[in-house]
Amino acid sequence: MSIDPAVACLIAACVGLLFLVAAIHKLRDLRRFREVFAAYRLAPPAAGRALAPVVPALELAVAVGLLFDNLRTPALWTGIALLLLYVAGIAINLARGRRDLDCGCAGPYDRRPIAAWMIWRNLGIAIVLAAALLPWSGRPMVLTDAVTIGFGTACCALVYLCLDRLLTPARAP
């Protein structure tokens, strides 16, 4: 079984963009992200604050790694691992009844509480990302593939943003 290279590139482009934007959001106010990360209480507070910068660094590594053939497989596995860690962190805190935690995914100026749908979103992205681990068919890429990947990435980004807004509860005025 193999995956068409245009489909695999579309997956890599979409998830790469997602991880790049996520890293930029966190790096815009790393001090605030350290607080958000520590609030999950998955590690001792000092360790949580020390580990916080590793998250955007890994997200950047995934985004960049997906661009290069020789780095793509480790980037895919790292992206899947990060998504599953996000799933675990959210699930653990929801099980603890801590629904008021900021998810840390929307940047320093847009606080969003964690929710069960975020678990399903991240699992879905991890599954799609795993599909890009399949061997890529040897079909040569053509210009229409590049156009498809470009517009497909833009469409996926818009759908992601729309769903994110629709599933995030409105804040009280």
Cα 25 to its chain centre, rounded Å, is 12
**Rg of the Cα trace of the chain?**
17
Q: In 3D, which of 161, 165, 132 has the Cα closest to residue 149?
A: 132
Q: What is the pLDDT of residue 131?
A: 95
Residue 2 neighbours by CB distance under 10 Å: 11
Tokens representing residue 139 in the block: 């079909």
Q: What is the pLDDT of residue 72?
A: 95
Q: What is the pLDDT of residue 49?
A: 78
Residue 31 neighbours by CB distance under 10 Å: 9
Answer yes or no: are the C-beta atoms of 83 and 125 closer than 8 Å: yes
d(CA 119, CA 114): 9
Q: What is the pLDDT of residue 33?
A: 87
- Sequence-ordered list of residues with C-beta below 8 angstroms from that of 77, at least 6 positions apart, any chain: 133
Q: What is the pLDDT of residue 48?
A: 80
Q: What is the pLDDT of residue 92?
A: 95
pLDDT tens, per residue, the chain with 173 residues: 899 999 999 999 999 999 999 999 999 988 888 888 888 888 888 888 788 899 999 999 999 999 999 999 999 999 999 999 999 999 999 999 988 888 877 665 677 888 899 999 999 999 999 999 999 998 999 999 999 999 999 999 999 989 888 887 766 55
Answer yes or no: are the C-beta atoms of 141 and 5 closer than 8 Å: yes
